[in-house]
Amino acid sequence: VITAGGAASLLIAALAGAFLAGRALVPIQKAWEKQQRFVSDASHELRTPLSVLQLHLERLFRHPERTIEQESGKIAVMLGETERMSRLVADLLTLARSDSNQLQLLKRRVELPALIRKVSGPFRDLAGTKGLELMLDLAPDETLTVEGDEERLVQLFVNVLDNAVKYTREGTIAVSCHPRGDNVLIDVRDTGIGISKEDLPHIFDRFFRADKARTRSEGGTGLGLAISKWIVEQHGGTIRADSEPDQGTVVHIVLPRK
């Protein structure tokens, strides 16, 4: 026998249960939506180079009499698009694996100044070809060790330095690495095109590019900083950027010292 009072309590319990279940589902729903967006953005990004490839291949097919030399322009474009797709797929794999916790970090003692010096070498040459100067201001190696995954830390500095060189037309790129308390502070400063106030909060989002056309022609995937953020967080650190359009950008990275 259910009394009126009992029925009311049952109803309240059922409503409360449904409400709590609904609330519990919100994070799952959000994660699902994020995953859906990731897949659709990734497909969209892959479609562009594929369309370019298809277009050029069709044109080549229409003129079998032409030599490779005559068509070298189209072939160069196709090679560029293939390289872009390879980079994109590698970045997508990194993020997909990080989402499903399949990426294990292999942490050991890493001397950060030495690592930054090593990574900077090729970027100094690249900067030189654009007439840019790359300057290093690094504390002595032994003073700045972190517990880290060397390969991932290399990937982090490659991404940030690559952006600094890509988005700077003239001036300098300055990298500093110094201790502060229990942390290591790394700043990568450039005198480049900068980032607007509206765009700045989004640069660590997946697929975000301030100027789609320009960054695409620079070969960017819009995933570099999202991956960088993930790497820094896996090391218990933080990454943020300050920027002034037409003045330049500073990326600040903080990592805990060993």
Please, what is the minimum distance in Å from the beta carbon of residue 151 to ligand ADP? Answer: 18
Please, what is the minimum distance in Å from the beta carbon of residue 28 to ligand ADP? Answer: 27
Q: Is 190 in the site for ligand ADP (CB under 6 A)?
A: yes
Among 112, 116, 164, 231, binds ligand ADP (CB under 6 A): 164
CB atoms within 10 A of CB 122: 12
Q: Is 155 in the site for ligand ADP (CB under 6 A)?
A: no
Return the number of the residue (183 or 221) whose C-beta is nearest ligand ADP: 221
Please, what is the minimum distance in Å from the beta carbon of residue 65 to ligand ADP? Answer: 39
Q: Is 45 in the site for ligand ADP (CB under 6 A)?
A: no
Q: Is 237 in the site for ligand ADP (CB under 6 A)?
A: no
Give the residue at shortest CB distance from ligand ADP: 220
d(CA 115, CA 160): 14
In angstroms, the Cα distances linking 17 to 11, 28, 114 are: 10, 17, 57
Q: Is 192 in the site for ligand ADP (CB under 6 A)?
A: yes
What residue type is assigned to position 251 of the chain?
Answer: V
Site pattern 73..92 for ligand ADP (x: CB under 6 A): --------------------
Return the number of the residue (71 or 211) whose C-beta is nearest ligand ADP: 211
Return the number of the residue (120 or 163) whose C-beta is nearest ligand ADP: 163
- The dihedral through the CA atoms of 86, 169, 155, 220 has a sign that is negative
d(CA 191, CA 235): 28
Query: The tokens 């502060």 sit on which residue?
Result: 180
d(CA 249, CA 164): 8
DSSP for 110-133, written as a single string: EEHHHHHHHHHHHHHHHHHHTT-E
Strand partners, 186: 177, 253
Q: Is 200 in the site for ligand ADP (CB under 6 A)?
A: no
Q: Is 157 in the site for ligand ADP (CB under 6 A)?
A: no
Among 215, 234, 238, 252, binds ligand ADP (CB under 6 A): 215
101: left (phi over 0), alpha (psi -120 to 50) or beta: left
| Residues within the interface to ligand ADP (CB under 6 A) | 159, 163-164, 167, 190, 192-195, 203, 208-211, 215, 220-226, 249
